[in-house]
Chains A and B, each alone.
Chain A
Amino acid sequence: MLTRNLLLVLTSVVFLSSCSTTSDDIVEKADSLFKNITGQPDVVEVEDRTTTDEGDTNSSTVESSTEENIVVADSSSYTSQNSGEQSNSSTESTSISSSSDSSSSSSESSSSSSSESSSSSSSESSSSSSSGSTSTVNKVTIIEKSPLDKLKDTDISFTLYFTYDGFDIDEDSTKEIIKHANYMRDNPRARLRLEGHADERGTREYNLALGENRALSVQEVLGLYDLASRIDVVSYGEEKPISNIHDESGWKQNRRVEFIYE
């Protein structure tokens, strides 16, 4: 819950600040806030992504390209608590090595970094954080030849998977969601229905709430693109399982958000 809220705070804060001037002290503030709330070190990845608004390659004009900083807060606390139940599905597994070292160095570096231009400082903090961890991309610049082509990889029937009782969006999932954001942006009439689901464990009503939180998490990421009015969020809780197997192999397929274009 905290992580989800924080993700929202971080994403919106950084998004706004990328348009204005100094972001690093806000990032720093949010970063320390994150540490305070969770009570244990978590990895906060700060990365700078450039996505092209237009379909053409390497758009040189500033107007056509939008720069967005996306902060991905990985909830390592949740997954570590539920080790063994953690889903291994491809969309869920993160490449972030969540050691406490990298986290502390991340926060230190962001606090020590002087106020420069927003994008460079955030990428700097990201790079210094990655020095503590093993595999982190410093600056990911996604140059999409065509968002439509890109979406074909995932296709219309896309499903995002989640950890037990979790509704956080990890780095890989964010990339997937951005593909859909681009698709929606290029197809102004497209309407998206996000259907949240849960596995059978726990109570039905709680799972109904949890399923909605999962769909809302996705909507929050898409919300950066001002698409909220075209997105419908619903939850089926544990009522519509994909798999009826009563163990993790089935459960991990059922903790999901389905993207349904209308």
Chain B
Amino acid sequence: MKKIIIFCLACYSSLASAVLEVTILKQAENAFPIVIAPFDVVGNAEQDGSIIAKIMRDNFNRSGRFSASSGNRVFLSEDEINFKAWQSNNTEAIVFGKVEKISNKRFNVWVYLYDTFSMKLLYSDKFAVHNSGIRRISHFLSDRIYDALLGEKGSFDTRLAYVTVVNLSDGRREYSLEISDSDAQNPQAILKSNDPILSPAWSPDQRKIAYVSFRNARSEVFIQYPFERRKTRKLPYFDGIASAPSWHPNGESILLTLSKGGNKDIYSYDLNTEELTRITKDPGIDTEASYSSDGKRIVFTSNRSGQVQVYIKDLKNNKVNRATFEGRYNAKAVFSPNGKLLAMVHRVGKDYRIALLDIKTKDLTVITDNSLDESPYFSPNGGMLIFATNKKDRGVLSVVSIIGGQAFELASKVGEVREPNWSHYLK
């Protein structure tokens, strides 16, 4: 058993923000039933014991792969598990654990995962956790258990970034750039503005967020350091619009759309040397570029054919190939983490929906039936897709699982939510 201490990253933000409402729209079929029992509590840590198990259950229930219940009891040890009974109940696995308060701000947490059919211990661990790290450890353990059960990583110990918009009584709008845990809890507003905020993008190291702001009455790209006090970096002024920031997987450069001389092309801006490299050169609009996770390819939107379509540039041989041929409008594509799929906005008739394209076979699958979907983005394990859509004239975020078709929604009680971005795994 290893022992690590997890500290919560403190966010330097005093700006108010509201928790988004999470609503499960569609329960996945063929989800594995598992039990995540309330943790045994030693000492005065009652609340935290139930919170850990609840966060984990909610995570698994949102994943589309599991249906998690509490089992209605606390398990103290393996001896208390009646494996035969759980087998007849078709429960695949049982998670239980213990929380022990060892000081005002520190807890010890034990966790055990048993396979009910093999009756074997699949995973166990012990952690010392700081008070502020209770949520973090719940997501971290969810990832470990997800991995132990499916053989693939979860996407729970990650963060979201999004923009909320509230109409103020004086007619102005308040835009708020927010970050939250992957379950939309623990939201923090890191920037508020009366001017539009667009395209937030987490840096690969989770320390920075690039975004587009109109605070100077034109689109410009900024980088915010949410965990450092009041630190913002503005990229230099480029002629025309600067927009659509997207990080290189190594975090050292950023793809941008710049309209030097009015012609919108993709550029790479090196954050260390401050050098600008042109990536595309075409008289049409080239924008919405992003890297594959290995950094070897760039996908972008272009109207060079006369239609808005998606293209892939291979950075090894500098060849640009059109990726989409179905439909007259395909835009804002992103690579899946394994590089095999593209998620994009695809026009069907008059509707703009999210579609997945298999890059090799060119098979395109429309996975939503809304009319104004935007900004798809994969979870770092590729299992989920978050995007913005409109429900009853209001912007909300929707998350679907690629397997199982689980769908849930994140909505603001007071305004709209848009421009989602999913971080990589936290470090």
Cβ-closest 8 pairs across A and B:
A239-B196, A203-B332, A209-B285, A205-B244, A203-B331, A1-B284, A234-B218, A209-B264
Interface window among B33-41, B104-112, B223-231, B302-310: B302-310
Contact of A205 among B214, B240, B288, B306 (CB under 8 A): B288
Would you call A233 an interface residue if the criterion is a C-beta within 8 Å of the partner chain's C-beta atoms? yes
Is B143's CB within 8 Å of the partner chain A? no
For residue B391, give the distance in angstroms from its CB to the closest CB of chain A: 12
- A47 close to B (CB within 8 Å): no
B219 contacts A208, C-beta separation under 8 Å: yes
| Chain A 209-245 interface mask (CB, 8 Å, partner B; 1/0) | 1101100100000000000000001111101100010
How long is the Cα–Cα vector from A213 to B308 in the complex, in angstroms? 14
The answer to whether A80 has its CB under 8 Å from any CB of chain B is no
Contact of A240 with B285 in the complex, beta carbons under 8 Å = no
Q: Are B264 and A212 in contact, CB atoms less than 8 angstroms apart?
A: yes
Contact of B419 among A204, A209, A237, A240 (CB under 8 A): A204
B393 within 8 A of A: yes
How far, in whole Å, are A200 and B243 apart by their CA atoms in the complex?
A: 17
Q: Taking A1-B284, A240-B196 as contacts, is the C-beta distance between A206 and B390 under 8 angstroms?
A: no
Does A68 belong to the interface (CB within 8 Å)? no
A1 touches B303 (CB 8 A): yes
Judged by a CB distance under 8 angstroms, whether A2 is at the interface is yes
What mask results when residues 181 to 204 of chain A are scored 1 for a CB within 8 Å of chain B, else 0? 000000000000000000011111
Residues of A within 8 A of B284 (CB): 1
Set of chain A residues within 8 Å of B285, measured between Cβ atoms: 1, 206, 209-210, 213
> B249-268, CB under 8 A of A: which get 1 and which 0?
00000000101001010000
B308 neighbours in A (Cβ, 8 Å): 165, 202, 206
Set of chain B residues within 8 Å of A2, measured between Cβ atoms: 306
Q: Which residues of B contact A (CB under 8 A)?
A: 196, 198-199, 212, 214, 217-219, 240-241, 243-244, 257, 259, 262, 264, 283-285, 287-288, 301, 303-304, 306, 308, 329, 331-332, 345, 347, 352, 371-372, 374-375, 390, 393, 419
For chains A and B in complex, what number of residue pairs have CB atoms within 8 angstroms?
A: 94
When A209-B257, A212-B264, A235-B219 are in contact, do A1 and B306 touch as well, CB less than 8 Å? Answer: yes
Is there contact, CB below 8 Å, between A204 and B199?
Answer: yes
Q: How many Å from the CB of A20 to the closest CB on chain B?
A: 26
Residues of chain B with a CB closer than 8 A to A246's CB: 371-372, 390, 393
On whether the beta carbons of A239 and B198 are closer than 8 Å, the reply is yes
> Is A5 on the interface with B (CB-CB < 8 A)?
yes
Q: Can you list 8 A-B contacts with CB-CB less than 8 angstroms, sorted by A residue number?
A: A203-B332, A203-B375, A205-B244, A208-B198, A208-B244, A210-B285, A237-B198, A244-B393
> A1-B285, A165-B308 in contact; A203/B345 too (CB < 8 A)?
yes
Residues of chain B lying within 8 A (CB to CB) of residue A208: 198, 212, 219, 241, 243-244, 287
Q: Does B352 lie within 8 Å of A205, measured CB to CB?
A: no
For B419, list chain A residues within 8 Å (CB): 204
Q: Which of B301, B371, B393 contacts A206 (CB 8 A)?
A: B301
Contact B199 A205 (CB under 8 A): yes
For A234, the chain B residues whose CB sits under 8 A away are: 217-219, 241
Chain A residues positioned under 8 Å from B241 (CB to CB) = 208-209, 212, 234-235
User: With A and B bound together, what is the CA distance between A48 and B283 in angstroms?
Assistant: 29
Is there an interface contact between A205 and B257, defined as CB atoms closer than 8 Å? yes
Nearest to A2 among chain B residues (CB) is: B306
* Chain B residues within an 8 Å CB radius of A202: 308, 329, 331, 345, 347, 352
Query: Contact residue range for chain A?
Result: 20 to 34
B344 (CB) vs chain A CBs: closest residue: A203
A216 touches B199 (CB 8 A): no
A202-B345, A208-B219 given; 4 more Cβ-contact pairs under 8 Å: A203-B332, A209-B264, A212-B240, A239-B214
Q: Which residue of A lies closest to B216 (CB)?
A: A234
Of all chain B residues, which has the CB nearest A240? Answer: B196
Q: How far is A209 from B242 in the complex, measured between Cα atoms in Å?
A: 10
Cβ-neighbour of A5 out of B198, B217, B240, B283 (below 8 A): B283
Q: How close is B413's CB to chain A, nearest CB, in angstroms? A: 19
Min CB gap A229→B, angstroms: 14
For A1, give its contact among B243, B283, B287, B331 (CB under 8 Å): B283
Compute how far the CA of A240 lies from the CA of B329 in the bound complex, rounded to whole angstroms. 23
Nearest residue, chain B, Cβ from A193: B217
- B347 contact set on A, CB distance < 8 A: 202
Instruction: Return chain A residues, CB-CB under 8 Å to B262.
Output: 212-213, 216, 233
Question: 1/0 per residue A241-262: CB within 8 Å of B?
Answer: 0001010000000000000000
Q: Which of A210, A235, A246 has the most CB of B within 10 A?
A: A235
**Cβ contacts under 8 Å, A200 to chain B:** 372
CB-nearest residue of chain B to A196 = B241
Question: Distance (Å) between the CB of A12 and the closest chain B CB?
Answer: 14
A5 proximity list for chain B (CB < 8 A): 283
The smallest C-beta distance from B197 to any residue of chain A, in angstroms, reads 9
CA distance A206 to B243 in the complex (A): 10
**Chain A residues near B257 (CB-CB < 8 A):** 205, 209
Tell me the complex Cα distance, A246–B352, Å: 13
Interchain nearest-CB distance for B385 vs A (Å): 15
Which chain B residues border A209 with CB–CB below 8 Å? 241, 243, 257, 259, 264, 285, 287
**Bound: A202/B372 CA distance, A:** 8
From B219, B306, B374, B393, give the contact of A203 (CB < 8 A). Answer: B374
Which residues of chain B have C-beta atoms less than 8 A from A235's C-beta? 218-219, 241
A2 to B305, CA, bound (A): 10
Residues of A within 8 A of B393 (CB): 244, 246
Question: How far, in Å, is A164 (CB) from chain B's closest CB?
Answer: 10
- A206, A216, A233, A236: the one contacting B331 at CB < 8 Å is A206
- Chain B residues positioned under 8 Å from A210 (CB to CB): 285
**How many Å from the CB of B261 to the closest CB on chain A?**
10
- Once the chains are docked, how many angstroms separate the CA of A202 from the CA of B240? 21
Which residues 1-24 of A have a CB within 8 angstroms of B?
1-2, 5
The distance in angstroms between the C-alpha atoms of A239 and B352, with both chains bound, is 17
A203 & B301 in contact (Cβ 8 Å cutoff): yes
Residue of A165, A236, A237, A239 most packed against chain B (CB within 10 A): A239
Q: Looking across the interface, which residue of chain B has its beta carbon closest to that of A200?
A: B372
Q: How long is the Cα–Cα vector from A1 to B199 in the complex, in angstroms?
A: 25
